[in-house]
A and B are shown apart, each in its own frame.
Chain A
Amino acid sequence: MSAQDQISAAARATARDATFARPKFVLIAAGWLVLASLPFWAGAYNIATIRDVLLFGLFALSLDFLWGRTGILSFGHAAFFGLGAYGMAIVTIKLGLDPASASLLGLLGGTGLAMLAALVVGYFLIFSGVRGTYLTIVTLALTVIAQHIAIGWSEVTGGDSGLIGVPPLTFELFGWRYALSDPSQFYWFVLLLASIILLVLWRVLSGRYGHILTAIEDNELRARTIGHHTDRHLLTVFVVSAGIAGLAGAIYATGTGFVAPDMIGLMLSTEVIMWVAVGGRGTLVGPFIGAFVVWWLQQKISSIDTKLWPMFIGLFFIAMVFLFPNGVMSLGERGRQLRARLWRRA
């Protein structure tokens, strides 16, 4: 190995460790401040929209935790988001509890339902050695089944039209009751929650546990032969990921006030994969950016002509995979690469 090889190899290693290196970190911090100050300068409609984008970002983060770190692609992650949303709606609308306990029970029920489903499905799949494409196909089936149940079991789920009238999140602490009906406060609550979950995941994944997951993605059999119980690690990540997706879904339902079958179906499962891919798989912050970019493009393009959007998003996705396979988080680096390649040709 020549000295130059060594230098570039060392640089690659540092670049990988420095996902949160200074310029990127400053950008992320600046973006966060803009988001945090949004209620002071944006209208109520925009606040609510960005709040939903943040929740979709949180949902995408849950998939990135699974897909980006273990390599397992779930094609049915909307099933967990939808279970969270439907769990929240059913508890708050159908059970007739008082608002504070209904909200809390809805959050716990929705998230718990998603985690339970992931635990049962994940246990049988992961512990029996199902991996790769086969695992992806089963998760795909899961979201299709979930959507059929959401449409078919109309006494509970409201069928095609869904359930309307999910109340805003209400908390009760030491006898002091608080409903998050004010758009700004609800927005800040969502921003804070998403930030906390992002930071916790980032902390955990930049430590030893993150290395174990990277090792499993690299080569699961090797990780197993040096003493790591890989089945258990993968199941844990799958269940936690489903829990975060369910939580995002439950809160989303309290924001929109209703649930519908498209929150649990295949379309949303596909979209969330796109958000992660656009933002950059394995980057954790990327999924939020991906969700934002796709949402923003949809606004712009649909305002020209609504028929353009589906065609554009397909082409856009193909272009992304070709030009920026590591997502927008690698835009700078990839731009330099592409420029260097053009120079060499010229």
Chain B
Amino acid sequence: MLNTTSLKAAYGAVPVLLGVDLALGEGEILALLGRNGAGKTTLMRTLIGLLKATGGSVTFAGADITNFPPHDIARRGIAYVPQGRGIFPKLTVAENLELGTRSRPDGRSDVPAEIFDYFPRLRERLSQSAGTMSGGEQQMLAIGRALAGDPKILLLDEPSEGIQPSIVHQIGEFLKRIVADTGISVLLVEQNIDLALATADRCIVMEKGRIVREGSVEEMSDETVMREFLAV
């Protein structure tokens, strides 16, 4: 579905991605793990086009989308939920969802009802200002808004950050259900190893701008592997 070949990116003169090769399959939840500063968020930003790649390529569904503008990538079916939610706090829940429909391939602008099946809480709060909701609700809204665009791929950057543990668990369950129902692929960046391992089909580990390890959830659950790559 989504592939990168020796993808490189930099902030100014500082190289951050030193050549990332990644393959995300159809209907797969791939967890991207790694310590702070490994380049996980940078990779996400490069995939969605917010940061220009300085080398390598990104292909999506067979088409080269390297350095396409973000709105174009979004309309092709890649939805991005940034770290720290990324909702529009001044708008209501309904308005937030409505704006997410811009990238729908069928051009419709009504919010698909399935979103409320996944997140019933959002239906109750339609006219509420998004900024006044709790962290967990905002995260649900951010994911709901991404789904409103009917994407083929969901890029999730640390959905568990700053959210109470019970909701973290729920988010993992939501993701599995969404993938089972719709067949979309998910690239999940997580610091919360438990959430990542409970949700993902496969894991990759990033270190200093490269992918240094790849494996099944079982392999990654191994204590020594975790300590080697993830211990802070």
- Contacts from A to B (Cβ < 8 Å): 1, 5, 9-10, 12-14, 16-17, 208, 211-212, 214-215, 217-219, 221-230
- Residue among A14, A217, A219, A226 making CB contact with B149, cutoff 8 Å: A226
Asked whether A228 and B99 contact (CB < 8 A) given A215-B88, A221-B50, the answer is yes
Provide the bound-state CA to CA distance between A5 and B125, in Å.
13
- Nearest chain B residue, comparing its CB with the CB of A208: B98
CB atoms of A224 and B70 under 8 A apart = yes
B42 interfacial contact with A, CB 8 Å: no
Return the contact of A215 from the options B75, B79, B99, B103 (Cβ within 8 A).
Answer: B99
Residues of B within 8 A of A9 (CB): 128-129, 132-133
Q: Check A10 against B99 for contact (C-beta < 8 Å).
A: no
Cβ–Cβ < 8 Å partners of B145 in chain A: 226
Question: Contacts of B90 on A, CB cut-off 8 Å?
Answer: 16, 214, 217-218
A225 near B70 with CB under 8 A, answer yes
- The yes or no answer to B146 lying at the interface (CB within 8 A) is yes
A229 to B98, CA, bound (A): 16
B76 to chain A, nearest CB (A): 9
* B-to-A contact residues, CB < 8 Å: 48, 50, 69-71, 74-75, 79-80, 82, 86-92, 95, 98-100, 102-103, 109, 127-129, 132-134, 145-146, 149
| Chain A residues with CB below 8 A from B69, complex form | 224, 229
* Chain A residues in 8 Å Cβ range of B87: 222
A16 to B132, CA, bound (A): 13
Q: Which of B89, B92, B133, B146 contacts A226 (CB 8 A)?
A: B146
- Give the residues in chain B near A211, CB-CB below 8 Å: 91, 95, 98-99
Closest to A219 in B: B88
B residues in contact with A219, CB < 8 Å: 86, 88
User: Would you call B102 and A228 a contact (CB within 8 A)?
Assistant: yes
Residues of B within 8 A of A223 (CB): 88, 99
Which of B82, B103, B128, B129 touches A222 (beta carbons < 8 Å)? B82
Contact of B71 among A13, A218, A229 (CB under 8 A): A229
Bound-state Cα–Cα, A14 to B99, Å:
19
| A17→B92 CA distance, assembly (Å) | 9
Knowing A1-B134, A211-B91, say if A230 contacts B71 (CB, 8 Å): yes
By beta carbon, the residue of chain B nearest A229 is: B71
Contact B99 A226 (CB under 8 A): yes
- Cα of A40 to Cα of B129 in the assembled complex, Å: 46
Contacts of B127 in A (CB 8 A): 10, 13-14, 17
Given contacts A9-B128, A13-B128, A226-B79, contact A218 B74 (CB under 8 A): no
Main secondary structure of the interface of A (DSSP, over half): helix
Query: CA–CA, A1 to B69, complex, Å?
Result: 38
Shortest CB-to-CB span from A324 to chain B, Å, is 20
A226 touches B129 (CB 8 A): no
A227:B75 contact, CB within 8 angstroms? yes
A225-B129 CB under 8 A given contacts A211-B98, A218-B90? no
Interface residue from B50, B74, B129 paired with A227 (Cβ < 8 Å): B74
Residue pair A13, B50 in contact (C-beta under 8 Å): no
Residues of B within 8 A of A212 (CB): 99
Contact A218 B128 (CB under 8 A): no
Task: Name B126's closest neighbour in chain A (CB-CB).
Answer: A13
Kindly state the separation between the CA atoms of A230 and B99 in the bound complex, as whole angstroms: 12
Question: Which of A13, A217, A218, A227 touches B92 (beta carbons < 8 Å)?
Answer: A13
Tell me if A10 and B102 are in contact (CB < 8 A): no
Take A10-B128, A13-B127, A227-B103 as given contacts and tell me if A214 and B109 are in contact as well, using a CB distance cutoff of 8 Å. Answer: no
* 4 A-B pairs with least C-beta separation: A227-B103, A9-B132, A227-B74, A227-B102
Please, how many angstroms separate the alpha-carbon atoms of A12 and B91 in the complex? 11
* Minimum CB distance partner of A226 in chain B: B100
Residues from chain A with a CB closer than 8 A to the CB of B95 are 211, 214
Using A9-B133, A222-B86 as known contacts, list a sample of 20 further A-B pairs with CB atoms less than 8 Å apart, ordered by residue number in A: A5-B132, A10-B128, A12-B129, A208-B98, A208-B109, A211-B99, A214-B95, A215-B91, A218-B90, A221-B50, A222-B87, A224-B50, A224-B70, A225-B48, A225-B50, A225-B80, A226-B79, A226-B80, A226-B149, A229-B69
Q: Enumerate chain A residues within 8 angstroms of B109, measured Cβ to Cβ.
A: 208
In the complex, which residue of chain A has the Cβ closest to the Cβ of B104? A227
Residues of chain A contacted by B99 (CB below 8 angstroms):
211-212, 215, 223, 226, 228
